[in-house]
Amino acid sequence: MDSIKNLITTLGENAKNAAKTLRSATTMAKNSALINIANQIKQNRASILKANKQDLANGKNKGLEAALLDRLMLDNERLNDIVESLNQIVNLPDPIGEITDLKYQPSGIQVGKMRVPLGVMGIIYESRPNVTIDAAALCLKSGNSVILRGGSEAVYSNHALYACVKQGITQAGLNENCAQLIDTQNREAVIELVQASDYIDAIIPRGGKGLVEAISNSAKVPVIKHLDGICHTYIDKDADTQKAINIAFNAKTRRYGVCNATETLLVHASAVSRILPELIAQYLAKGVELRGCKKTAKLSNKIITATEQDWHTEYLDAILSIRIINSMSEAINHIEQYSSGHTESIITENYTSGRRFITEVDSASVMINASTGFADGFEYGLGAEIGISTDKFHVRGPVGLEGLTSQKFIVLGDGHTRK
């Protein structure tokens, strides 16, 4: 226990010292580090994929669920996406040092706000090795040092990617401790990290609901979190038939093990006959298990009658719950009761209905005529995301560069004294 505590103390001290140097690091130096990391990934592609294959083999032997294996898997396309996200982050404006709202006051002083890093971030994540890069890159560009703690199921992949991060940072002349990886799978390290309030300014957990709740309950450090992604797609009575079918199908089947996948489909009763039979046929052909309300279950003998628990469930699998409703108010009330506050979408050609939906639905992302699969930092132009927050403080939705910053007041005077 003492050795783990000492490890976190050392990492925390290193990170705090690195954060001091990052505050004044130039945009050029930070971008250089990101470009170097991208080049390292391209140069070490074979060894990264080899490490990932080892993790996948171990995961299959341990009986990991298909959704977790999908999150864990890296291939050439996903590595290309990681490199592209690094390039996007390079091209994004550096938020640090931005001064806004600078105004003269009656006393003659000027008062404004300057954007600054949060300081030291702790990122705890499961399955997804790409988070090693996303987290390090976003923290670097936003001037934060970061301590990374990946899950045991991705240990080889995380180490291979972290080697690229460390090499890229040192090549750019930055403090090598700007990004550190906890090199133990002892769970005590997580407990110590989330309680290290002397060193850590914020914790972001990325993983299952159980992990996030456990961290939130034991943390002494502020936690930026989302508990789960119970996302809804609502097909309105004024929905275009083909748009509705295409969007609802994509929102569920693009990838099952992601937090922005639609888990519940709501369909207005007057749109059922022209949309739902074809959509059900497509889902079943794709191998999606359907669980529907009593009205929905009458449409096919292959539909299982949904239970109350289904409306509360984030499946992260090829399972979808469907409910037929009689009004938009009923749809909004269902979302209010069962949503996790992640992402909801309405499919409609009625402008007034769309505006009402995005106004009344209280989730981090609310969409009109678009797949919930777009709820992603990369798709939102953030370069990548360090997580999707369903909190309301201090950041909500995909957490990109600006979400990893705060503001401080600055005052400009010229010998001004207060009367």
DSSP string across 240-288: -HHHHHHHHHHHHHS-SSSTTSEEEEEEEGGGHHHHHHHHHHHHHHHT-
Q: Output b/e per residue, 308-326; b: 16+ Cβ within 10 A.
A: eebbebbbbbbbbbbbbbe
| Distance, CA of 15 to CA of 30 (rounded, Å) | 16
- Averaged pLDDT for residues 24-40: 97
Q: Are 382 and 93 a contacting pair, CB within 8 Å?
A: no
DSSP-derived pairing of the beta strands 110-117 and 99-104 = antiparallel
What value, to the nearest 5°, has the Cα angle with vertex 92 and ends 87 and 96?
Answer: 125
Show the tokens assigned to 303. 């539909």
pLDDT of residue 56: 96
For the stretch 195-227, pLDDT in tens is: 999 999 999 998 777 888 889 889 999 998 876
| pLDDT (0 to 100) of residue 141 | 97
Separation of alpha carbons 70 and 407, rounded Å: 38
Alpha helices in 300-416 (DSSP H): 308-311, 328-338, 351-360
How many Å separate Cα 367 from the centre of its chain? 17
Q: Which domains does the chain have, with CATH numbers?
A: 2-224+399-412 (3.40.605.10), 231-374 (3.40.309.10)
Secondary structure element (H or E) that encloses residue 43, with its range? helix 27-43
State how far the Cα of 349 lies from the Cα of 271, in Å rounded to an integer. 12
Q: At what angle do helices 27-43 and 76-91 cross, to 10 degrees?
A: 170
- pTM of the entire predicted model: 0.85
Task: Give the tens place of pLDDT for each residue, 230-246.
Answer: 999 999 999 999 999 99
CA-to-CA distance for 372 and 7, rounded, in angstroms?
41
Q: Nearest 5°: phi and psi at 216? A: -60, -35
**What strand order describes the sheet that includes 405-412?**
99-104, 110-117, 405-412
Q: Please check the confidence at residue 32 and state whether its pLDDT lies above 80.
A: yes
pLDDT of residue 309: 97
User: Residue 217: in which H helix or E strand, if any?
Assistant: helix 209-218
pLDDT tens digits, residue range 178-196?
A: 999 999 989 999 999 999 9
The owner of tokens 């108010």 is 329
Structural tokens at position 335: 């979302």
**How confident is the model over 118-165, as pLDDT tens digits?**
999 999 998 889 999 999 999 999 999 999 999 999 999 999 999 999
